[in-house]
Each structure stands twice: as C-alpha cells, then as structure tokens.
Amino acid sequence: MVQYIVKRLLGLLPTLLIVGLLVFLFVHLLPGDPARLAAGPDANPETVELVRKDLGLDRPLPAQFVRFVNGVLHWDFGRSLRTKRPVSEEIGERFMPTFWLTVWSMAWSVVFGMVIGVLSAVWRNRWPDRLGMTLAVSGISFPAFALGMVLMQVFSVQLGWLPTVGNDTWRHYLLPSLTLGAAVAAIMARFTRSSFVDILGEDYIRTARAKGLDEPHVVVKHGMRNALIPVVTMMGLQFGFLLGGSIVVEKVFNWPGLGRLLVDAVDMRDYPVIQALVLLFSLEFILINLIVDVLYGIINPVIRYR
C-alpha cells in the first residue's frame, strides 16, 4: 500500500511542476509590466526600477522561477498589491470558511446524491426514478448563483428562518452549502443510478436473489459495495467542481472565503494573490484526486498491483 502511494506521488511530480511553471509564467503573461503594476499607477520610473529589483523581476526567468518555487516551499507568496499584507496571511484567514463550506457541500451531495441514485435504480422507470432523475437534471441545469439567490430570498428574506450573510454559526452554513452541493448531488445521483443499474443486472445479484435473500440485503450488501467504486472516483472529480463553484457561491452569500478573495484580486489585478490562489486551488484539487486514488486502491485491491 505504501509503495502504491509513493508511486502515485511520484507520478504527480511532472504535473505539479508544469502547474507551478504555468502559475509562475502567469505574471509574465499579464499585459503590461508587472513591476509597474506592483509599484502602482502613480509611481515614477525610479520607483518602478526599485520595485523591479526588489521583486527580482530584473533577473533571468529561470532564476526567477527558482526563487518562486523556493518562496512557495517556504509558504511565501509575496505581498498583496492591494493591502500590502503578506499573501499567506490573507489566505490563512480565508481558508477555513471555504474549506468547511466545500466539506459540508460534499457531505450533502454524497448523502442526497447516493440516496436518490440508489432509489432511482431500484425503482427503475417507475415514479421514484422519474422524480429523482427530473430533480437531478434540473439540479445540473440550474446555475448555482441563481439557486443561491432563490434560497436566500425564500428562507432568509421571506421566511426569516436563516441568516443571509456571515459564517458564524452552523445556520450560516446551511444555505451556502446546499446551494453549492446541489449540482454535485445531481451529478452524483445520475452517476450512482447508472452504476447501480449496471450492478443490479449482474449474475451475482441474481444468485443472491435466487438463494432467497431479501431485497434490502441484496441492494445494500451485494449491490452497494460494488457500485461504490465508480462513485468514489466521481466524488474526487466533483471536488474540483465544488472548489470552482465555491467562487460563485461565496459572492452570492458574501462569504469571507478564498473564492471572493480571488474575484476581488482579479478585479484589482492583484497578481501575487491570484498566483497564490490559483496554485492553492490546483494543489488542493490534485491532492484530493490523490486521496481518491488511494481510497480506490483500498476499495479495489486489483488496482494496487498494476
């Protein structure tokens, strides 16, 4: 198992390096001179040169890249152009709200998605299936920001049951996490259903039924375990979707998280923040996929020995 994890980690190195290189080059792809951007619009040429030296932008690209990687490894992303504070501090404050938001959303979507998916597969082509799949295709088609606005309007403004903005209590988490989780729940439901439909047609399921096992046993014990393998993979892929979706949902609910930080940074062309966030989001995504791969190896031993 350890060997498998190490192998997977080594396999990630080239991807990590290319992602790092792209994020590094990002600054140089921006239109205009990064030193001038950093110095501000009113700076005179001397100040711009000073800033250029200070940021190391006068050195050759490979040297700059080494400096960049070194900085990242020491958790140093430079300073925000807008607030002049270290980017790592800015991110540190915003990380947990986004993290919990995505974790809650994932929890919702796994629970709702799997329940709807399994029920739809068991009552295939009957009303629970039709209802579940109608919900699912609607969930995929409804944009998260619109759903968030509707939920907030109904539950916070009209009914007054839940708070509108802020992240102080669990009640604050309810609407944003449901909003963010809805689309993923819909995707999970469709995926679980098709995975389950395949499994329920297998010979060993017929055997289980033939030996007189009751239906709940067949579905849960024999069906569930095998149907879960592709579902777990799907979960990992969808996590990236959640990370991206959180950017939009955070704007709707005025959430003090990384997504809003990113949008503000793009608006203000605060490139050190953009750089750090793009890198962080990607690392998180890559890491989650690694965890999924490992989980996959645990569920399905055949994968490990390939």
Partner 1 sequence: MTAAADTAALPAVDANAVRTPWSEFWRKFAKQKVALAAGVFVVLLIVVALAAPWIVPYDAENFFDYDKLNAPPSWQHWFGVDALGRDIFSRILMGTRISLAAGFVSVAVGALVGTVLGLLAGYYEGWWDRIVMRICDVLFAFPGILLAIGIVAILGGGMANVVVAVAVFSIPTFARLVRGNTLALKHLTFVEAARSIGASDWTIITRHIFPGTISAVVVYFSLRIGTSIITAASLSFLGLGAQPPTPEWGAMLDAARSDMITAPHEAIFPALAIFLTVLAFNLLGDGLRDALDPKIERR
Give residues in contact with partner 1 (CB under 8 A). 14-15, 18-19, 22, 26, 29-31, 124-125, 137-138, 140-146, 149-150, 152-153, 157, 197, 201, 240-241, 243-245, 247-248, 251-252, 262-263, 266-267, 269, 271, 274, 278, 281-282, 285-286
Nearer to partner 1 among residue 33 and residue 49 (C-beta): 33
Closest approach, Cβ 44 to partner 1, in A, equals 26
Closest separation in Å from C-beta 17 to partner 1: 10
Find where tokens 């991110």 sit.
Answer: 91
Find tokens 């892929």 and name the residue.
237
* Of 226 and 275, CB closest to partner 1: 275
Question: What backbone phi and psi angles, to 5 degrees, belong to 124?
Answer: -60, 135
Q: How far apart are CA 259 and CA 255, in angstroms?
A: 8
Between 219 and 243, name the residue whose CB sits nearer to partner 1: 243
CB 278 within 8 A of CB 271: no
- Least separation in angstroms between residue 57's CB and partner 1 is 17
Contact, 85 vs 79, CB < 8 A?
A: yes
Q: CA dist 187 to 18, 133, 134, 207, 237, Å?
A: 30, 10, 12, 30, 11
Least distance to partner 1, CB of residue 219, Å? 17
Distance of CA 187 to the CA centre of its chain: 14
- Closer residue to partner 1 in complex, CB, 42/267: 267
Distance, in Å, from the CA atom of 79 to the CA atom of 71, rounded to the nearest integer, reads 12
Least Å distance between CB 135 and partner 1?
12
